[in-house]
Amino acid sequence: AQSVSQHNHHVILSEAASLELGCNYSYGGTVNLFWYVQYPGQHLQLLLKYFSGDPLVKGIKGFEAEFIKSKFSFNLRKPSVQWSDTAEYFCAVNAKRDDKIIFGKGTRLHILP
Amino acid sequence: EAGVAQSPRYKIIEKRQSVAFWCNPISGHATLYWYQQILGQGPKLLIQFQNNGVVDDSQLPKDRFSAERLKGVDSTLKIQPAKLEDSAVYLCASSPGLAGRPSTDTQYFGPGTRLTVL
């Protein structure tokens, strides 16, 4: 069955540190990949998505993610985090076979000022 | 543009009682989703509607959960009777529903309803 793994459940960084959040999925066919973010007290919202073309995708607020098909990965990166990036981040995948979106368990990111 | 609206925001009930949640999607969005998010987990899709038809309800516990989307706009999700393990946040999301298969649509989420079953 299709699954999504987020390696880190809780990450604590200082401002200006670089960030990489891991996401791996299990399905081998055509997939669309998403990162959603939930800031404290706010709704889940899209950060970025990949469905074709350049495997390096840029999103809002300086985030980017790279789709590496051979590794079944879609890691989220930001070169220099800010306190306002404190949030919970969810990786999600949907596959052509069943078109059902699966979310990972989320990574709670805490940025120290 | 108004976002996805959900009510109530919070609900506390005792086990074996029934409860209903309401969702009003973004105007014009054809696809509507209901998710269950248990503490410490990611959202789990319960049911997906395309207009007023069900696309996927494979993870909906049909012995106690039901959902409808009359006229392809608003939707209600009902639990009857509730169990302790139903305590969760119930999220509604909508998307335009025009982006093919698998969908590349962005989903727009509501604030959720936090259900506590005692």
Q: If you average pLDDT over residues B91-118, what whole number do you get?
A: 88
CA–CA distance, A25 with B91 (Å, rounded to integer): 23
Taking an 8 Å cut-off on Cβ atoms, the answer to whether B58 and A96 are in contact is no
- Tally the C-alpha atoms within 13 A of residue B2's C-alpha that lie toward its C-beta: 10
A41 lies within 8 A of chain B by CB = no
A4-29 pLDDT tens trace: 999 889 999 999 999 999 999 998 78
In chain B, what are the domain boundaries?
Answer: 5-99
Taking an 8 Å cut-off on Cβ atoms, the answer to whether A96 and B102 are in contact is yes
Q: What angle do CA A36, A72, A77 make, to 5 degrees?
A: 45
What per-residue confidence (pLDDT) applies to B99?
58
Q: Which residues of B touch A107 (CB under 8 A)?
A: none
Reported confidence tier of residue B105, pLDDT bands at 50, 70, 90? confident
CA–CA distance, B72 with A106 (Å, rounded to integer): 31
Over 80: is that where the pLDDT of B18 sits?
Answer: yes
CA–CA distance, A63 with B73 (Å, rounded to integer): 34
| pLDDT cut 70: percent of chain A above it | 99
In chain A, what are the domain boundaries?
Answer: 4-112
Q: Supply B75's token pair.
A: 């939707």
B110 lies within 8 A of chain A by CB = yes
Q: If you average pLDDT over residues B51-62, what whole number do you get?
A: 91
Query: CA-nearest residue of chain B to A52?
Result: B104
What per-residue confidence (pLDDT) applies to B103?
79
Local structure of B36: helix, strand or coil: strand
Q: Which residues of B touch A95 (CB under 8 A)?
A: 102
What per-residue confidence (pLDDT) applies to A43?
92
- Which of A31, A44, A95 is nearest residue B109 as measured by Cβ atoms? A44
Q: Which residues of B touch A30 (CB under 8 A)?
A: 102
Over 90: is that where the pLDDT of A96 sits?
Answer: no
Q: Are B105 and B25 in contact (CB under 8 A)?
A: no
Query: CA-nearest residue of chain A to B59?
Result: A100
CATH topology of domain B5-99: Immunoglobulin-like (2.60.40)
Reported confidence tier of residue A88, pLDDT bands at 50, 70, 90? very high
B61-91 pLDDT tens trace: 999 999 999 888 999 999 999 999 999 999 9
A101 lies within 8 A of chain B by CB = yes
Q: Where are the beta strands (DSSP E) in B9-112?
A: 10-13, 19-24, 31-37, 44-50, 53-56, 65-68, 75-79, 88-95, 108-109
Into which CATH architecture does domain A4-112 fall?
Sandwich (2.60)
Residue type, B60: L
